[in-house]
């Protein structure tokens, strides 16, 4: 076996056992009047809900219409503080540090934070 073939085989075996690269996080960060927050891909502020517990969303039906979830796809992989939860309807949702993530329907542009403190303080901006 020539040295170039041996090198090619060694490289191929090494790459086959290399750990997979982590996917990009499902959120970004954005600046708001209330500081740096987690945002979705469009730059819309993300929120958490006090009534969510044990990695389960308590926001379903009309609540989820006003507070759209940060959807996860079947091919998405959790990591770096992010997990994927299964909602009551079977769909998948991103959570950060165990808290499901949502946008707010009344936020109209990136940087809006109108949902912070909503419902007697039960909704909070998601912070990095």
Indicate if the pLDDT at residue 10 is higher than 90: no
Q: Which residues of 14-40 are buried (b: 16+ CB within 10 A; e: fewer)?
A: eeeeeeeeeeeebbbebeeeeeebbbb
**pTM value?**
0.82
Indicate if the pLDDT at residue 11 is higher than 80: no
Nearest 5°: CA angle at 68, between 67 and 71? Answer: 140
Boundaries of every domain in the chain: 25-125
Indicate if the pLDDT at residue 90 is higher than 70: yes
Average the pLDDT over 42-62 and give the result. 97
Tens digit of each residue's pLDDT (9 = 90 or more) over 64-83: 999 999 999 989 999 999 99
pLDDT of residue 74: 87
Residue 13: pLDDT band with limits 50, 70, 90? very low
């Amino acid at each position: 076996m020539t040295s170039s073939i041996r090198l090619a085989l060694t490289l191929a075996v090494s790459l086959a056992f290399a750990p997979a690269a982590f996917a990009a996080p499902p959120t970004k960060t954005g600046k708001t009047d209330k500081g740096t927050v987690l945002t979705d891909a469009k730059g819309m502020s993300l929120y958490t809900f006090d009534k969510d517990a044990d990695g389960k969303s308590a926001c379903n039906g009309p609540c989820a219409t006003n507070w759209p979830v940060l959807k996860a796809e079947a091919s998405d992989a959790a990591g770096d503080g992010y997990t994927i939860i299964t909602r009551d309807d079977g769909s998948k949702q991103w959570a950060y540090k165990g808290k499901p993530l949502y946008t707010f329907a009344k936020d109209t542009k990136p940087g809006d934070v109108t949902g912070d403190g909503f419902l007697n303080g039960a909704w909070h901006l998601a912070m990095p």
